[in-house]
A and B are shown apart, each in its own frame.
Chain A
Amino acid sequence: MKILVPIKRVVDYNVKVRPKADESGVDLNNVKMAINPFCEIAVEEAVRLKEGGTATEIIAVTVGSSASQEQLRTALALGADRAILVETDIEVEPLAIAKLLKGVVEKESPDLVILGKQAIDGDNNQTSQMLAALTGYAQATFASELKIEGEKALVTREVDGGLQTISVNLPCIVSTDLRLNEPRYASLPNIMKAKQKPLDVIEAGSLGVDIEPRNKTLKVSPPPVREAGIIVETVDDLVDKLKNEAKVIT
C-alpha cells in the first residue's frame, strides 16, 4: 500500500500571532515556523502503518515556497520515504491546494491519503474534504482511529456528540484529529538520513490547474480585547461578585 501524506509549513503553535500595525496582514517577521501539528499526526499514522506491515511506501508532499523543504525534511526524518514539493510563491487557498494535490494523486496513485484536519494558521479545515470531492474518493475526516481491512478503511471519527465509526472504500482521504496518535520525535540519525532521501520539486504551473485566489483579505485586525479582571480573595467574594456584580447566578 502506498500512502500520500500532504503536510503544511505553518507558524509554530506556541507563537502568539499578531496583525501588522497597518492591518494589511499577519505579522510573520522572524517567527518560528514548523510542520502543522495535525500534519505531524498524519505522518506518524502513515509511519505506523508501514511499521505494522500494511504500508510499503510513504510520500510526503507539500504546496508552498522553497522554504517548505524544511518541513518535508522533517517528515522524511519522521519516516517518510520520499518527498515532493509543489512549488509556488503565491499564497494558495485550500481549493487550489486540493487541485494541485489531485494532480499529485493522479501521478502517484496512492491507496490512502492522510492529512491534517486543519492547519493552525488559516483554521480552514477544508483541504481533505475538497481533495476527496475532486478525486471522487470517500472521505473520513477527524479520525481518532484508523484500521485498514482489505479494500476498506474502518475509521472512528471525533464528532460533536462523541464518536462515529464509518467504513470507506479505498482509495480514500483521511483527515487526522488530535487523538489519532502521539507523534514521535525525529532522532538525530534519522534527521541525518533524511538529508539523503529523495525530494522532488514540481512547479505548480506544470500541473495545469487554476490556483488563483478567490478570496481577497481586505484587512486583518486584532480581536476585541477583554477588560482586565480582578483577583478575588475567597470563594465568598467570588459568589458575591457573580451574584451581585456580574449577575450571572442567582
Chain B
Amino acid sequence: MSILVIAEHDNEEIKASTNNVVTAATNLEGDIHVLVAGSNCSGAKDQAAKISGVAKVLVADSAEYEHCLAENIADLIVAISADYSHILSPATTNGKNYMPRVSALLDVAQISDITAIESSDTFERPIYAGNCIATVQNSDSKKVITVRTTAFDAAQNDGSAEVVDLQESHNLGISEFIKEEIAESDRPELTSADVIISGGRGMQNGDNFKILESVADKLGAAIGASRAAVDSGFVPNDYQVGQTGKIVAPNLYIAVGISGAIQHLAGMKDSKVIVAINKDEDAPIFQVADYGLVADLFTAVPELDAKL
C-alpha cells in the first residue's frame, strides 16, 4: 500500500509544510504520493514533483478545488483513498478543516497533530496544550493523520516524481467561496521562519508593534503575537502563536511583553532558543526562556534594535 500526502499550496507554490509532511511519511512503509488539488495549479504541481522522496504526484486541477472548500476536497480524497494505508496532511487550517471530514466519510478515527511516528499504527501527539504527550495506537484499517509540521524537518527539493492528472470532479454545491483577506508581507511565514519576534499585551497598542518590525527587519524575522494582543485588536488573527493558533519552533523566539500563559507556551516552547523581555520578573515566560531580560520593553527593544 502507498501513502498519500495532501499538499498545502496556493496554486502557484507549494508551502514548506508539505515538505515537512513528506519527511513524516518517510517513517512509514510504502511509496509516497502527493495530491495537489487546486485550480490553475501547474506551479504547485511542478514544485510538488521536485520534493525528494515523492514517487508520484496526483493533480486535480479544476475550479471547484480553487479555495480548498472542505466538502469538495474531502470527497476527492475519499474517491482516491482505496490504494492508501495512510493519508497525511499538515495540521494547517486547511488540513484541520478537510481531514476530519475525510475520516468520518471513511468511518475511521483521525489522529491529530502527530509529533512522532513509532510504527505504522502508533503515534505520539501532544494533548492538554502540550502538557502531556500521548502515545496512541490506532486500530482502523486506514490511518488519517494531521502532522505537526514543526516536529519534522522539511524534505529537500531534488526529486523528480511522475505526474498523473486525475479526472475527478467533486462539487457538492453546498458551500461557496466569497472572499479572503490575506495579509501581504515581505517577511517569512510564521510557521517556517528561523527567527520570530512576538508581542503580547505589554505592547499596549498596535502602533507599538513598529518597534518589533525594526528588529524583525534586521534579523529577517517573522512577527507573531500572543492571544491577548490579538484579542485586544493590536494585530490580526494570523499573528497568533499558541495552542489554538500557530505552532512554531524557530531557532530563535523573542517574546516581548508576553506573560507566558500555558496556551501561548504550547505554541512556541519547542523553539531552539527562547528570549523573554518583560518587566514583571515573576512572569511565567521566564521559566521557559533561555535568556531572560527583566526590563521595560519600550527601552529594551529600541536598545536591542540599535545594537544589532
Contact = CB atoms under 8 A, between A and B. Distances in A.
B113 A123 contact: yes
Interface in B233-292: 236-238, 243-244, 246, 251-252, 262-263, 269, 272-275, 281, 286-292
B130 interface: yes
Contact of A160 (B93, B99, B289, B290): B93
Chain A: number of interface residues, binned into ranges: 35 or more
B237 A179 contact: yes
B293 A123 contact: no
A5 interface: no
Given A123-B127, A132-B70, A138-B174, 11 more contacts: A18-B132, A94-B110, A122-B127, A125-B100, A126-B103, A139-B71, A166-B175, A166-B176, A177-B244, A215-B137, A238-B293
Interface string A226-250: 1111111011101101100010110
Interface of A: 11, 13-14, 16-19, 26, 38, 93-95, 98, 117-118, 120-134, 137-142, 144, 154, 157-169, 172, 177-179, 214-223, 226-232, 234-236, 238-239, 241-242, 246, 248-249
B60 interface: no
Contacts of A218: 122, 135-137
Q: Which 5 A-B pairs have the closest CB atoms?
A: A129-B100, A133-B104, A130-B104, A214-B109, A126-B100
Interface string B172-185: 10111111111100
A105 to B, nearest CB: 13
Given A95-B109, A236-B307, A239-B307, A166 B69 contact: yes
Contacts, number: 259
B118 to A, nearest CB: 9
A161 B131 CA distance: 27
Which of A122, A160, A161 has the largest count of B CB atoms less than 10 A from its CB? A160
Contacts of A158: 93, 237-238
12 contacts: A16-B262, A126-B100, A129-B97, A133-B103, A169-B175, A177-B237, A216-B136, A218-B136, A223-B132, A236-B307, A239-B308, A246-B252
Interface residues of B, number: 89
B86 interface: no
Majority DSSP secondary structure for residues of A touching B: mixed
Q: Which of A124, A161, A232, A242 has the most CB of B within 10 A?
A: A161
B237 A144 contact: yes
